[in-house]
Structure 1
Amino acid sequence: MTYVQGFLAPVKSAKQQEYKEIAEKSWMLLKEYGAVGCCEAWGMDVPDGEVTSMPMAVKKEDDETVVFAWVTWPDKETADTAMGKMEQDPRWGEFMPSAGEVFNLKRTIFGGFEPLLEV
């Protein structure tokens, strides 16, 4: 069954192009390791909430934009195997250190999901 990894990240608004470049490089590795799809979505209408919200979830700062992203895998086993391999892949290490200048990894939220409905 399909498996989805979802991400919510605070990205420096002025670094949108740099984030896109990191996402493109990440996709090449994800695809090589078995991912079947990926979407990186730049927040356009992501309001603050009174009790909870996407900006509150990542503790968004004034100079940041919320990015919502997901990667689709054929199954959880493929995703787990890929993540282990990617962490060891030197190509991953070449561009991930610069990611800290673009988005805050400590405030990024991620999780794995089994779809209930796919259409």
Structure 2
Amino acid sequence: MSYIDGFVIAVPTANRQAFIDHAARADPVFIEKGATRIFECWEDDVPDGKVTDFRRAVQATPEESVVFSWIEWPDKATRDAAMAWMMDESMSDPRMDPAVNPMPFDAKRMIFGGFTPVVVL
């Protein structure tokens, strides 16, 4: 069964193209490490909630847009191996080096986690 990594971030709206360029350089690395699909989704219809919502979750300002992303992996073992590489060796790849491919957002406000699918249609 597959495994999913999910991410929610706030990106300055003015950095939309910089985000797309950043993802276009970095995302192929995940495919090379075994990911089967990657989605980078720019907000389109993200309503304010009464208790909580995506914008509040990442402390998005009025000048920022919410990005919802996920990476599909064939299994958790492939994902874990890729993440171990990310933690130990990824800076050797210029596509992952922030000095070469800087993140156009505040990574400290990123929400992320790994998920096991329980219903897939």
TM-score norm. by structure 2 comes to 0.90
Q: Report what 2:80 is aligned to.
A: 80
Q: Which whole-Å deviations, capped at 9, do the CAs of 1:64-88 have from their partners, x for residues lacking one?
A: 0000000000111111110121331
1:27 aligns with 2:27: yes
User: Mean alpha-carbon deviation: is it higher for 68-77 or for 18-27?
Assistant: 18-27
The structure where helix makes up a greater share of residues is 1
Equivalent position SS for 2:97: helix
SS at match of 2:81: helix
Give the conservation status (yes or no) of the 8 Å contact 1:10–1:107: yes
Q: Secondary structure at the match of 1:6?
A: strand
Contact 2:22 2:101 in 1 (8 A): no
Return the alpha-carbon distance in structure 2 between the equivalents of residues 96 and 61 of structure 1. 27
Moved over 2 A (4+): 94-97
In structure 1, what is the Cα distance between the partners aligned to 2:28 and 2:98? 13
The one-letter code matched in structure 1 to 2:21 is E
User: Taking every aligned residue pair, what percent have the same amino acid on both sides?
Assistant: 38
C-alpha displacement of 1:103: 1.0
Number of residue pairs the alignment of both structures matches? 117
Structure 2: segments with no counterpart, 5+ residues: none
**What is the distance in 2 between the residues matched to 1:29 and 1:4?**
16
Aligned to 1:117: 119
Alpha-carbon separation, structure 2, partners of 1:57 and 1:96: 29
TM-score by length of 1: 0.91
Match of 1:67 in 2: 67
CA contact (8 A) 1:2 1:115 kept: yes
Q: 1:96 to 1:106 in 2, by over 3 A?
A: farther
Q: Secondary structure at the match of 2:50?
A: coil
The one-letter amino acid of 2:46's match is V
